[in-house]
Amino acid sequence: MDGMRFLNAGEQGLVAEFGTSIDPEINRRVHSTGALIRAAGIPGIREVVPTYRSLLIYFDPLTISRRQLIENVRSLVAGAESGQASTFARVIEIPVAYGGEYGPDLEFVAGHTGLSPDEVVAIHTSVPYLVYMLGFTPGFPYLGGMSERIAAPRLEQPRTVIPGGSVGIAGTQTGIYPVASPGGWRIIGRTPVRLFDPGAADPFLFAAGDYLQFTAVSVADYGAIGEQVAAGRYQPVIRSAPDKGGDKH
Amino acid sequence: MISIVTAGLFTTVQDGGRWGFQAYGMPVAGAMDRYAYNIANILAGNPPGAACLEMTVTGDTIKFATDTYIAICGADMRPTLDGRPVDTWSAFPVAAGSTLACGYAVRGCRTYLAVSGGIDVPVVLGSRSTYTRAAVGGLEGRKLKIGDTLAIGRSDTADNRPLLLPDAYRPAGAGDEITLRVLPGPQDDHFTAAGLATLFASTYTVTDEADRMGYRLEGPKIEHGGKADIVSDALPQGAIQVPGHGMPIIMMADRQTTGGYTKIGTVIGPDLALLAQAKPGDTIRLSQCSDEEAVDAFGRERALYEAAAAWRASALGREQYPPRRFTLTVNGQNYSIEIREE
């Protein structure tokens, strides 16, 4: 458990920090430790929030002291590391209609990178992306692992409304807007799948620690999947992947 | 049922917050002034966590379709019931057809209206709180407007006598200048000693950019020792973010779940109620405190809820006894004595 630091985030907040950079291995430790803490059912813990590189643990200081909580987390981590730490990641397929009406900036990204639109799509769909964390808006994934070959700058003038499901590129990052919102990312496609449905029994399509695999679909397939989503019949394609995913930097 | 006759500046349905989904990027939301919200529910006889209306700066005019019992706590919006003034930090019955009018907050910023049985909007992800930026919870995920109607939950309480909260359970007289206690961290080591000293020695002014998401302050610049940006981590309620410009931003109920600016410290939970009542132009002082002091303050807040609930029970219980009358004979003279319990 080298490098784990405990920081103060108010009398009801404890940060367990695993590093200060964006790194798949640091992030893996964040999620595995978060899962351990949730599974342990420690009385007084209210919520555990994973991020790129740390966990924020909300707790009731009248039920468990900060010192006791730190001891509990330390012993959980020590116990897990001496034993087997087998976790498997989920890979969730995200069907995307690239270009045209759904991806108005695909041509720009192609022009900027010197690739054809088809090549941009081929690279974007070539590897699964690690969901480092969710934030910004409910269900918004911070993804890692996109090839720098398709990196593109943000819009100089952000759009006032980007439709929900839009898939974009900003610098070397890629992501999906779960709900309609303003934004400056280059939009290369759109998925008909709902990432966030507050009324559903399972309101979020994926969690931090999962992988997303974009797949290119035709406009006709986009429509067909959209109808399934609207009717509540859509079943996302989810497969398990070995721990060492394609999240190279 | 209640209906909105005239709408306040920014009135939303709020409860204790949408806990448990920050891992998915869902902000907690919930009442900004946790203390006034909790006391309003206690006075109204509601269970903890019942949904209330949170009114901001100017309140609403609200018509009641049925007989009910309500409590008003927080900022003084000079409320009237059918034209007659009623007290803030009090609870009283309202008859069907009555109208409650709340005006401009002459002191403080946010007022909570608890209705016996709670405001009954659909529960979304475990909470009725409104998070307007993603249109989640509350009434259609938005602030209330003229003509809106809200259902009221079934009430378990049969009490209908007026109650006025004693001073002992009211917040200490918050003036135009408030002091908030701060625990340093999690990134206090990104600041110079001079930067930390500035934070704790200066007065800051609340800017116009002060809402449910956060309060931007203006004052002496806080000096970073290194970079002002970090790889994003989680934002606790009360976190004091300091971007490169050196001005603090205190994160409140609707804050995003993660953020990429350094956080010099966290305003302790019990003191956030004071900030929730601050308006643009008000003055803020920040004082450093220890974890022990912060936990102690947190415990005191919880003890106050228990004491206020006990006071309510006994206040209602005592009034059930009619005045006792005695006849006393002193030196052959008969005196009639009536004893009332206050």
Q: pLDDT tens across B127-158, in order? A: 999 999 999 999 999 999 999 999 999 987 67
Dist. CA A231–CA A215, nearest whole Å:
22
Is the per-residue pLDDT at B173 higher than 90? no
Instruction: Give me the residue from B230, B257, B266 closest to A9, CB to CB.
Output: B266
Quick one: pLDDT at residue B330? 73
Which tens digits make up the pLDDT trace of B216-231?
999 999 999 988 889 9
A49 interfacial to chain B (CB closer than 8 Å): yes
In whole angstroms, how far apart are CA B125 and each of B29, B49, B131, B144, B223? 12, 14, 12, 21, 40
* ipTM exceeds 0.85, yes or no: yes
Q: What is the pLDDT of residue B329?
A: 73
Size of interface A-B (CB pairs under 8 A): 133
Residue A204 and residue B24: Cβ atoms within 8 Å? yes
Name residues whose C-beta falls within 8 Å of residue A145's C-beta, 6 or more positions apart in sequence: A24, A127, A128, A129, A130, A246, A247, A248, A249
Give the C-alpha distances (Å, rounded to integers) separating A132 from A46, A149, B232. 22, 21, 11
Domains of chain A with CATH codes:
5-82 (3.30.1360.40), 89-241 (2.40.100.10)
Give the 3-state secondary structure of A142-175: EEECCCHHHCECCCCCCEEEECCCEEEEEECEEE
Confidence of residue A82 (pLDDT cuts 50, 70, 90): low
Angle separating helix axes A117-124 and A106-113, nearest 10 degrees: 100
Q: Which amino acid is at A71?
A: E
The confidence band for B79, taking pLDDT boundaries of 50, 70 and 90, is very high
Q: Would you call A62 and B299 a contact, using CB atoms and an 8 Å cutoff?
A: yes
What pLDDT does B98 receive? 98
Query: B52 Cβ partners below 8 Å, 6+ apart?
Result: B13, B14, B15, B31, B37, B40, B41, B112, B113, B114, B115, B118, B119
The residues of B whose Cβ lies within 8 A of any Cβ of A are 19-27, 124-125, 133-136, 183-187, 230-234, 236-239, 256-258, 263, 266-269, 291, 294-295, 297-299, 302
Nearest alpha carbon to residue B61 among B49, B51, B53, B73: B53
Whether the pLDDT of residue B310 is over 90: the answer is: yes
Beta-strand ranges (E) seen in chain A are: 5-8, 13-17, 45-50, 54-59, 89-98, 129-134, 141-144, 159-162, 166-170, 173-176, 181-183, 186-190, 211-216, 238-241
Smallest CA–CA distance from B272 into chain A, residue = A10
Q: pLDDT, tens digit, for every residue of B259-307?
A: 989 999 999 999 999 999 999 999 999 999 999 999 999 999 999 999 9
- Say which of B23, B236, B298 has its CB closest to residue A134: B23
Pairwise pLDDT comparison (A198 vs B147), residue with the higher score: B147
A21-35, B10-24, B154-168, B314-328, range with the lowest pLDDT: B314-328
Closest by alpha carbon to B87, among B160, B164, B33? Answer: B164
| Residue from B133, B258, B296, B300 to probe the interface with A (highest A Cβ count within 10 Å) | B258
Provide the pLDDT for residue A2.
Answer: 59
Structural domains in chain B, sorted by start: 2-169 (no CATH), 177-289 (2.40.100.10), 293-339 (no CATH)
Largest CA distance in chain B: 90
Residue A67 with chain B: CB contacts under 8 Å: none
C-alpha count within 13 angstroms, C-beta hemisphere, residue A25: 5
In whole angstroms, what is the distance from residue B284 CA to residue B36 CA? 20
Q: Which two tokens stand for residue B24?
A: 């998915």
What integer pLDDT is reported at residue A245 of this predicted model?
A: 43
Phi, psi of B206 (to 5 degrees): -70, 125
**Strand arrangement of the beta sheet that strand B52-56 belongs to:** B12-14, B52-56, B107-115, B68-76, B90-94, B163-164
- Band (pLDDT 50/70/90 cuts) for residue B174 is low
> If you average pLDDT over residues B34-47, what whole number do you get?
97
What pLDDT band is residue B75 in, cutting at 50, 70 and 90?
very high
Residue of A nearest to B268 (CA): A10
Yes or no, beta carbons of B125 and A198 under 8 Å apart:
yes
Residue from the list A10, A133, A139 with its beta carbon closest to the beta carbon of B258: A133
Q: What share of chain A is helix, strand, coil (3-state, %, to 5)?
A: 25, 30, 45
The alpha-helical segments, DSSP class H, found in chain B are 34-44, 193-201, 272-276, 291-318
Smallest CA–CA distance, residue B121 to chain A, in Å, is 13
With an 8 Å Cβ cutoff, is A137 touching chain B?
yes
Which of B19, B238, B299 is nearest residue A10 as measured by Cβ atoms? Answer: B238
Please determine, for residue A154, whether its predicted confidence score (pLDDT) is greater than 60: yes
